[in-house]
Amino acid sequence: MSPGLKCIYCKSGLTGKQPREHVIPHALTAGFQPRNLTIGCVCTACNDYFGRTLDQLFVEDSILGPLRYRHELKKDTRRAPLPDEARLQLRYDGKLVELHSKPDGSDYEVGLVTQVGFPSRRKPEGQLEYFPLDALDNALSDPAIDHGKYHVIGQGGHFKEEALAALRARGLTPGLESDEHSVFPREPDGSPQTSIEVQFEMIVDRVIKRCMSKIGFNYLAFAVTEKLHTSDWLLRPDFDVVRDFVRQDDATVTPCVSTEIELEAQRHMGGETQVPPGHCATVAWSRHGADVEANISLFSEFSWRVTLSRSFGGVTWDLRSGHFWDFETRRVLPMTPAR
Per-residue pLDDT tens for 198-254? 888 888 888 899 999 999 999 999 999 999 999 999 999 999 999 999 998 876 777
Distance CA 206, CA 183 (A): 35
The whole-number pLDDT of residue 2 equals 45
Give the separation between CA 82 and CA 101, rounded to whole angstroms: 10
Most confident of 64-68, 189-193, 256-260: 64-68
Per residue in 81-119, pLDDT tens? 888 887 888 999 889 999 989 999 988 889 999 999 999
> Is the Cα dihedral 151, 157, 158, 159 positive or negative?
negative
187 has pLDDT over 90: no
Residue type, 153: I
Triad 218, 47, 213: Cα angle to 5°: 35
What pLDDT is recorded for position 250?
73
Largest pairwise CA distance in the chain? 76
- Going from N- to C-terminal start, the domains of the chain cover 21-59+203-335, 88-202
| Helical axes 206-228 vs 240-248, angle rounded to 10° | 130
Q: Is 58 exposed, middle or buried (0-12, 13-18, 19+ CB in 10 A)?
A: buried
Instruction: Give CA 207 to chain center in angstroms.
Output: 11
pTM of the predicted model over 0.95: no
Instruction: Dump pLDDT digits (tens) for 137-172.
Output: 999 999 999 988 888 899 887 888 899 899 989 888
